[in-house]
Structures are given as structure tokens and as C-alpha cells.
Amino acid sequence: MRRTALLASTAVLAALLPWASARAADAPAPVPVDRFEGEVPFAQQPAESIFTWGGDADDPPALSLTDRSDAPEGQKVLAGSYDISGYGGFTHDFAASGPPHDWSAHRGIRLWWEGHGTGKKTTFEIKDGGANGEASELWTTSFTDDFTGWKQIELPFTDFTYRTDYQPVGGIDHVLGLTRMWGYAVTLPTGVRGTFALDGVELYGTADQSLRALVTTDAAVHTVREGGTASVKVTVATTGDQPLTDPVTVTYATQGGTATAGQDYTPVSGTLTFPPGTASGTARTIEVPTRKDRDAESAETVPLTLTVTGAKAPADTPQIVIDAHGLPYLDAKLPVRERVADLLSRMSLAEKAGQMTQAERGAMSDAGDIAGYALGSLLSGGGSTPTPNTPEGWARMIDGFQLRTRATRFQIPLIYGVDAVHGHNNLAGATIMPHNVGIGATRDPALAQRTGAVTAAEVRATGIPWDFAPCLCVSRDERWGRSYESFGEDPALVQSMETVVQGLQGRADGRDLSRDDKVLATAKHFVGDGGTAYGSSTTGTYTIDQGVTTVTPRQLRDIHLAPFETAVERGIGTVMPSYSSLDIVGDGKGAVKMHARGDMINGVLKDRMGFEGFVISDWNALDQLPGDYAARVRTSVNAGVDMMMVPYGYKDFTGALVAEVRAGRIAERRIDDAVGRILTEKFRLGLFEHPYADTGGASRIGSAAHRAVAREAAAKSQVLLKNDGGLLPLKPTQKVYVAGSDADDLGNQTGGWTLTWQGSSGAVTQGTTILQGMRKSGAAITYSKDASAPTAGYDVGVVVVGETPYAEGVGDVGNGHDLRLSAADREAVDRVCAAMKCAVLIVSGRPQLIGDQLGEIDALVASWLPGTEGDGVADVLYGRRPFTGQLPVTWPRSQAQLPINVGDSSYDPQYPYGWGLTTLTKVPRGGAAALKALGVAARAAERAGADSAGRALVGRARLIVQQKAGQHLSPAVAGPFAEADHLLLTGRYAQAVEKLTAAYRAA
């Protein structure tokens, strides 16, 4: 028998189900939804069960069915505890695939809730319509914990509003029909630790017949130039598109607002009538004329009040807005500095505070808050996407948010941001590049710039002008869950790859930012996040991410600050501080969270480096600072953070910021500096002239041309670590046996930050797996994921193994992860390599410890996380391109060696930094004599400033050393070999050849 949320007895169940009960002509009896006596299991979607969810690993609440003597109903209640920094709650899907429940006979839903008098709001959501529980509309309301003890909370269905910010599959009909109900969800308060108890969820009362009809307007905001006429379309719709059975009337009148009736506009009033039999979707139009004068003015509002009978009224009162005009800041011919100064001089403190605030789109249960709080920015966190998740869906969503800003006095546009860290990775069907560790392996700055350009074009084409990338961390410990976001362990390598900034933004002076294929870039995370010590993190179960970086002043300057100096020189528009703490030896401060280090943000970044953009905080980073909320706001803003990413706490932040300024604890000049920086970038992006999405480039998203760049990047990122007997490249005539967990898994291949924050295995987006790319070679290929198929009769085996996706501290080693292959992957390697010559490809965000199996492997490839274009991997496997990639990080022999980096005094890796064999390239002959000649030529190239020639000469010397060393990489070989690559990147070509000569002698 199918599990349900009601009583387990079949007889009782039939009597209680809303579609099985005989409805009385008057109020129906209450119908239980949840009694929490054990009839509902805890499980995961899709299932008829209760399950938890949250923004990260710590956010889902802990739930249990608990015996309570004071239970309002039965013996047990649903109890839980929570400590949520992002978002979190639980859902009860009482119908997973069907049949849905019919709640249309009832007035609302009610529940018993144990209050603690916190004053915090709890959000309650119901799932209506659609094909199933995960393809339905979300409707939301809330209640406040302003009581103690048990209280029965009644939530009339008329109080629920359609969620405009997040819908799993988009709108069905935007009508709360109540005939196909799938479940409910509870979102718990954030930023406080608490407990709760819930019991006796049930339906009550007689249905409000107006729920079957809904009056809507074509937009919440209608802009008009002064002197023009605004047209507001009013539409009536019904559940199931049925004609009206009762009349619906809409009485309208212009009243209130900031515009003056008779002076700024002609007032209108009247009644629209939709008689019985009116077809669903019928519309009428209300026109509001405005009047023109000669004065320059800020925007003025004319609310159009609608009083609806016989149907549900619109969620918003439509606003007619007479656009701002004639003011200097609106003049695109004026210098940006003058426009900023003019606008700043007109803004109130509250408006300035709004500009310093960034909220998550998922927090916008009331989109009117954008204007109400004068918000300056919104973002999509990882996986926070519109529905449908298409370019059109993104543009439509962002335009809808942008429209809300037109109802503010100065119509300052939003700047919308996303984490497009390896392509437009939140968008289904976008071109997904290799993660940064793979880009670092290419050693190709021009290619890095092209990948940035593709990303920028695809992001901007969906209406988004701001990208929280690139990550300029210098990863010093592969146990870090974010190590794949780094270009490598050498600051010189990171600096060389910062051409990606020009790919994203265009020229360093910012003149290209207003183009439809460029975005504002973000250098993150300032500073030292790649140097956090293992075991120093205090964030949940993280072991290294968000921990403490302890460095000398010189280490700080040479390793961690250097990439940010380069970024500032390249004109980076924004900088994001790190969650981590910085402990500078000898400064007497100890470990201080970066969001509180004014000496680094104000002193080093802004003053010494001359950074002129604005500083954006990381997600909820404010909550990690010590002190009460006001102290945290004061500390971070005074330290130099210009815009605060407070995804769900934007109301608290704006209020606290205003209060701190009025109390004199934050100077108004500091606020003006922050807002001036933010407005400058908005003007440079052209948002004041073109606030809405320019989708002209949308047809190029995921195009063949863009995927060709990603394919080239994937090919050049492949690092050939071992190639005994010249096994690679493969020949199309060979019969190939392919195995391994990552051979045919696009999600594993793309890694974290792909469609969702953590990423996931499987066919998560559009692309080509490595196996699919290999099959295009025309070779005879057999695939057996676990290598269980017979292995006899093959010329060569290819085993593709590695990691499953993760992001940030969730992927820290020691937090459910290690650097060893899974048992299944190790077994696949053993089976295939014991039966035939084999090549092993490791798809991962960091090196994997494979030394104990290395002897049985003929060819070994570090494939990193190559993105959606598995064809690029196949290109080098089959010799359509040569292997040219080099290790961007040191490949350790054991975990006990970590951290291990180029330049260490004790350096004995499995493979050194910079290692990478080549194919299709002849190794220069002559050994020591050839190296001597190359050294002389390199010295001449260095003196002449011939960088291209110098790099080529060092590259030839490297091939000679690698050929002689083979797999016999002693410390005497590995140390100078790795140091040579650092010297190459810093332009010291002659010294690089000298180091390679030393490695050659030791080989």
C-alpha cells in the first residue's frame, strides 16, 4: 500500500482523504495532513516523505519524531534544531508522482507550532499544480514567532502569494487552483540557533471561491516618459482556463504616490466588469495620461489601486512611474566622475545603504523589496536559477527584477552577479570550460583570455553584467576543497593566466565594459585563501577551507598578494575578500577574518595598490565576524567592504547600516566612497542607458564556435605524466577496452559549480563525455564501467577514473573526501591493466595518490576537470592534437608530504610541478651539449626581451630532461626541474635552463 501523510489504516485513510470524503454543503470537517505519529518516513526526493535541505552542509535542520506529553495531537510531534547561515528547512512531499491531493474545498491549512518568542519569521510554502511535486508552482506565506508555548497557526489560502523568485519548472497558470497539491515546505529563520516543534497539520474551513479566479496586470511597474500615457492591461484567469461562473469586478483609481494629481498626471477611476461566461485570459486596458513640464525631475510614482470582487487580486498594486529626466547624472555625455558626484549628492542615506546591499534572488518573496529597500544588487548563488533555465528565462527574470528599480526616485539599475567560474555554469546548455586548474595546465595565456571572452559573452547575453570570477588564489595544499579553482601553486603561474581578466572585461581602462559581450570581473579571494592550514577551519565539518593562513610579510607579498597586484593593473572591477583568516607573523594581530582586516582592504588593496573598483563581500561572510550584528556591520564596512552579500538578510543589513551611520560609528564619507565606487562601475557598464538584457548574443551560447574554444582548452589541459613504450597516442585501428567511473559521466567531468553549487554526477547539461569523444574516432571500442566485461582480445585499455563533484569546504580532505581513488576505480584499473597495455586518465580537481598502482600502468594522464567538451580529451588520446599540458601543482607521493610546493627545501614528489610529456614532438638530440647551447641562446633571448623565443628554448630543454629522467624522479631531479618552470614564468630563461641542466645531470 502506498505510504501517505495520513493515518495508516486503509479504512480510516479513505474516510480522511479529501477526494474520498463526502463534502458537506457547509464547512467540511478538518482533514489531517500530518499527525507525526510515525506514519510519514524520513527519506529523500522523490518519495512520499519528509526530507531536509539547505544552502550548505550545515544548513539542513536535524529532525526527529519526539514523544511529548503536551503534544497537541497524539503522542508525538515533529521536533528539530537548526543553525542556518544561508537557507534551510524541510519539506513534506505527501504525493511524489501521484495522485495529488485536492484541497479546493477548504479555506486554508493550519498547524500547531511551539513558539519561543524570538520575533523571527518562518516561511510556509505549498506546492500546487503541475506534473508532480518537483514540477509544480510554489506559493508562500509566513508567520511570526511572537508567542511562547503551543499555538495553532491558521494560514488561509488567500494569504499565499506566488513565488516570483524561484520555481522548479516555472509557472503553470499562476493560479492557486488547490486541486493538485503535492506537499508543503517550512523555511526556518537564518542567523540564529534555535529549536522548533510542529504538530497537527490539517485543512480547515470552507473554500473561498475567489481562489478559482485571479486578476493580474501585465507588469507591476509601468514606466512612461513625462507627457506620455501609461497603459495597464488587466487580465482575469481561471483554474483550468474555464469561463467565469460568477462576475468579477475591478474598481480602479489613481491615488497616492509621489506624483501630484492634476499637475503631473490626469487622475483616472472607474470599474471594469468581467461578466459570467467571460473566457479565461480576457483583458481590459486602463490608460493613465501624464503631463509634461519643463522641470528636471527625479522619477515620480502613481499607484493604481485595484479593488477586486469575485477573484483574487494582484499581489502588487500596479505603479505608473514617470521616468526621471533632465538631471545631470542621466547625461551619458558627461564624464562618469561628474555623473557619480551628481547622483551621490541627491541620494538619501537609506538609498545609499540600499546600493551597498546585495540579496539572493531566492530571498525576493516580495519583489517589491527591490524598490522598497532601494537594493543595489541581486545575485544567483550556485544552482539558483530561473525556470525554465534557458537564456530567455534568465533575461526575463533579470528584466523583471530590473523593472522594479524603475519605481525608485533615481531609477538606479541593479547590478546582477553570478559565479560563472568555468563558463556560464549555472545555465543549462552553456559552454563549460575546464576548471582553473586545467587552464593553468595549458600554460597558454592567450587561450585563457579566449575562455574568459566566451564566458563573458554567454553571461552577458542572458542579461548578467557581473561575474564573480576569476579566483586568483594560489593553492598551496591539495587537501583544500577549492584547489581546482586555482590556476596553480605558483603565483607566477596565476599571474600569467590573468589574461582571463581581459577576456571577461576587455581593455584595462574599462572602455569595453558596456559591450554586449563583456562583464565586470571579480578577483577573489583577497587574500591568502589558498594558504589556509589543514585543521585550522572552524566552519562546520570543514578541515581547511575558511581556515587560517599564517605567513610572514614576505610570503604574503610574494605568494598571495602578487596576483592581486596584477589584477589591479589589469583594471579588475571588483574584489571579493576571503572567508579565511590571516595571521601575519610579527604584526601582533593574530588570526583576523579577512572581512575585518582594514589594514589589508583599505591599506594594501585600495591605498597601496590603487584599486578603484568596489569590494564585494563573500556569501554571508558578515555572519562569521565576532560581535553582535551592529558590530559586524561596522567592522566590515569600516574595513573597506563596499557592498555586502547578505543573501537573506538584506533587511537587517540596511537597517543596521543606517543606524550605525546615524550613531556616528560609520562616517558618511565612508558610505559615499563605497556608493561612489559602486555607481562608477554601473555607469561604466552602461546600465543607466541600457538596464535590460541585450540578448543579441544568445544564439551563440553553447555554439560550435564557443565549444571549439572549450575543446581546445580541454585538449591543452591534459597532462601526460607517463607514456611507457609510446602507448599514446592511440591508433584508430586499435581495439580499445574502456572502463572507469568517469569515462561516460558528464557531471564528473565538469565537477563542482556546474548547474548547482556542488555539481553532481550524470548528464547534468549538454556536452560530450570522454567516451563519446573517443567513439568519434571510428575505433572499435567496448565500454564496461566496472570492467566486468571480458577483457580478452583488446589491443589497449583506457581506464577513466577520478573524483565525483564537490565545491568549497564540502570537498576538503577529511570532510568525507581523501586523495585516493575509490575502491571501484582501483579495481577497474587493476583488472584492465592486468589484462592488457593500459592508459589511465584521472579526472579530478587535484592530484590523486596512485603510486602503488603506477607500476602496472603504461600511460598516465592528469585530465583535471575538462568541462563539457570530452572531444578535446579524445583529440590528444588519438593524436589529433599533441599532449602539451604541464602540471600546475606538484603531484605528491603520499598525503604525509602535504603541503608540498615548488621551491620547498624538501621536495620529493611523484611528479614535479611543471612536468608534462609531449606527443607528436621530436625531442632535441645532443643531451648536455644541446642544453649548453640552449642556455646560451636563452641568455641572449632574455637580454633582447624576446619572451616567445625564450619560452621556446626552455621548453626544448625541458623535453631533453624529461626524456632522460623518465619515471626516475629523485629529489635531485624534481627540485630543479620544478624551479625551472617558475623561473620561466618570471622571464628568467637562462636560469631556467641552468636548473634544467642540473636536473639532467642528476637524472
CA distance 223 to 211: 30
For residue 560, whether the previous peptide bond is cis, meaning omega lies within 30 degrees of 0, is no
DSSP letters along 100-152, please?
PB--TTSSEEEEEEEEE----EEEEEEEESSSSTTSSEEEEEEEE--SEEEEE
How, if at all, do strands 88-93 and 181-187 pair?
antiparallel
CA distance 404 to 371: 6
Closest by CA to 710, choosing from 757, 759, 762, 749, is 749
Residues 145, 808, 875, 981: which is the catalytic one? 808
Angle between helices 870-877 and 704-717 (to 10 degrees): 50
Q: How many helices (H) and strands (E) does the chain have?
A: 24, 37
Catalytic, 808? Answer: yes
CA distance 918 to 921: 6
- Residue 215: all three cell numbers together: 486578476
How, if at all, do strands 300-309 and 248-254 pair?
antiparallel
Integer Rg of the chain from CA: 31
Closest by CA to 120, choosing from 727, 815, 648, 564, is 648
CA distance 85 to 87: 6
By the 8 A CB rule, do 193 and 179 touch?
no
- Residue 518: all three cell numbers together: 563583456
CA distance 183 to 50: 10
By the 8 A CB rule, do 768 and 822 touch?
no
By the 8 A CB rule, do 217 and 234 touch?
yes
For residue 924, whether the previous peptide bond is cis, meaning omega lies within 30 degrees of 0, is no
Helix locations, 687-803, DSSP H? 704-717, 746-750, 770-775
- Neighbour count for residue 703 (Cβ, 10 Å): 14
By the 8 A CB rule, do 850 and 895 touch?
no
Residues 58, 360, 618, 803: which is the catalytic one? 618
Task: Tell me 57's DSSP state.
Answer: T
Catalytic, 137? Answer: no
Q: What's the number of CA atoms in the CB half-sphere (13 Å) around residue 389? A: 21
C-alpha 272: how far from chain center: 45
By the 8 A CB rule, do 310 and 270 touch?
no
Closest by CA to 758, choosing from 803, 717, 718, is 803
Q: Hey, is 909 helix, strand or coil? A: coil
Task: Tell me 841's DSSP state.
Answer: E
Q: Is the dihedral of CA 761, 767, 772, 777 positive or negative?
A: negative
Supply the residues annotated as catalytic: 618, 808
